[in-house]
């Protein structure tokens, strides 16, 4: 009775674990690009693939690992398992994946796409198709952000603007945040590829057919080893990611430079307003100073001056003339102290070598306009 009870308890616990096991929506693609769709529980899937439960956990945002002659790929929402015979896409019901899966991936695996690994085993095609999709996705995000950022900066970097459009700043803030996310994704992608490139054993483990099919030659049609083919493939996409990262870095530098110029323009206009306010204050002080004469005549005290009809025009003229002279003297004093100091004397040798040192290649018209505005603003300031 005790043994029957333990057996019943074990069966009940196994049934409970099987019921809570997650179910994957799987898309299976073979070497000819034929697709099959089915749903399978995680326990059944990793047992069929000869893996362990932790191998299908996909705990990393981006990773490429090998387990038991299987390649497990995770590119954020893209989960894939590559074998020498077929490719499994897990949880394929995603709006971002449907177009690629049904219109491009099947044809690429069957040999109708634009891959360069058709002469190599199946795992090369599968890896290249996934890496090509991810690079094209990152490239599309950069192509979407770049014109928006350039257009916004062109509208903001204008020395004639006395204020900054808050809606443009909000758009620039959102685009800057998206650019930071893109830079992070590119960095993670490069680090994932670089981890494999730094380990020769990992590169060889990615060549699945080399270990499963003894008839696969060590050298391909190009005369190099399959491991070297895999290394060249990964280096190619690492270089593409590096180029995208450089373009994103240039956009980031352009945003920072434009932000500095915006602040310079605003400071310049602020200085103009402050100088105008100071001039008006000095004018008010001059008028108030000579206005004391009028105050003296308005104190209801009798004198012989108010009987002369010419005194009014004389006192009025003295007030205006004295106020104008005092205001001019204050303006000249202000001008002497606000004039920029003369630049230091530059020797003739330095003057000759200066143009050669200032040859800077500017890649975009906006960057050239930005630097020109900064020079004109600094000169006027």
DSSP 176-204: HHHHHHHHHHHHHHHHHHHHHHT-HHHHH
Structure tokens at 110: 């069957």
Q: What is the pLDDT along the chain (381 residues), one digit of tens a residue?
A: 666 556 655 554 555 555 666 888 888 988 888 888 888 888 888 888 888 888 888 777 888 988 888 999 998 888 999 998 899 998 877 667 877 888 888 888 887 777 787 888 888 999 999 999 999 999 999 999 999 988 888 877 765 655 566 777 788 888 889 999 999 999 999 999 999 999 888 888 888 877 666 565 555 555 567 888 889 999 999 999 999 999 999 999 988 887 777 777 777 777 777 877 877 887 787 777 777 777 766 666 666 666 777 777 777 788 778 778 877 877 777 776 665 555 555 454 434 444 444 444 434 454 445 444 444 443 444
Q: Which residues of 197-214 are buried (b: 16+ CB within 10 A; e: fewer)?
A: eeeeebbbbbbbbbeeee
C-alpha 196/C-alpha 227 separation (Å) is 12
Sequence-separated (6 or more) residues with CB below 8 Å from residue 8: none
- Class of the CATH-defined domain 23-265: mainly alpha
C-alpha 289/C-alpha 216 separation (Å) is 102
C-alpha 164/C-alpha 61 separation (Å) is 39
Residue 112's SS3 state is coil
CA dihedral 298, 302, 307, 311 (to 10 degrees): -40
Q: Tell me the CA distances in angstroms from 329 to 225, 277, 279, 323, one per residue in order.
A: 87, 17, 11, 10
Q: What is the pTM of this model?
A: 0.67
Domain ranges of the chain: 23-265
């Amino acid at each position: 009775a005790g043994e029957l009870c333990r057996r019943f308890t074990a069966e009940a616990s196994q049934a409970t674990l099987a019921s809570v096991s997650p179910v994957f929506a799987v898309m299976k693609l073979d070497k000819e690009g034929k697709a099959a769709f089915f749903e399978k529980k995680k326990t059944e899937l990793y047992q069929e693939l000869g893996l362990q439960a932790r191998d299908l956990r996909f705990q990393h945002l981006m990773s490429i690992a090998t387990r038991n002659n299987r390649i497990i790929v995770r590119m954020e929402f893209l989960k894939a398992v590559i074998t020498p015979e077929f490719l499994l896409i897990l949880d394929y019901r995603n709006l971002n994946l449907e177009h690629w899966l049904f219109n491009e991936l099947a044809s690429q695996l069957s040999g109708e796409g634009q891959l360069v690994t058709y002469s190599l085993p199946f795992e090369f095609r599968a890896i290249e198709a996934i890496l090509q999709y991810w690079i094209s996705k990152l490239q599309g995000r950069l192509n979407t952000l770049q014109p928006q950022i350039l257009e916004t900066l062109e509208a903001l970097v204008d020395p004639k603007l006395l204020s900054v459009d808050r809606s443009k700043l909000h758009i620039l803030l959102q685009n800057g945040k998206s650019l930071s996310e893109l830079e992070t994704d590119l960095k993670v992608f490069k680090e994932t590829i670089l981890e494999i490139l730094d380990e020769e054993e990992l590169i060889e483990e990615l060549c699945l057919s080399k270990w499963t099919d003894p008839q696969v030659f060590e050298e391909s049609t190009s005369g190099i080893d399959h491991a070297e083919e895999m290394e060249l493939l990964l280096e190619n996409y690492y270089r593409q990611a590096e180029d995208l990262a450089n373009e994103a870095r240039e956009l980031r530098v352009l945003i920072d430079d434009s932000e500095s110029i915006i602040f310079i323009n605003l400071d310049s206009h602020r200085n103009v307003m402050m100088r105008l306010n100071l001039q008006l204050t000095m004018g008010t002080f001059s008028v108030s100073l000579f206005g004391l004469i009028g105050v003296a005549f308005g104190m209801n005290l009798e004198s012989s001056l108010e009987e002369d009809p010419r005194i009014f025009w004389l006192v009025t003229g003295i007030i205006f003339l004295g106020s104008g002279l005092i205001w001019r003297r204050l303006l000249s004093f202000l001008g002497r102290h606000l004039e920029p100091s003369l630049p230091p004397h530059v020797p003739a040798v330095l003057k000759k070598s200066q143009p050669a040192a200032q040859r800077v290649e500017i890649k975009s018209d906006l960057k050239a306009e930005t630097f020109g505005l900064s020079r004109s603003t600094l000169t006027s300031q």
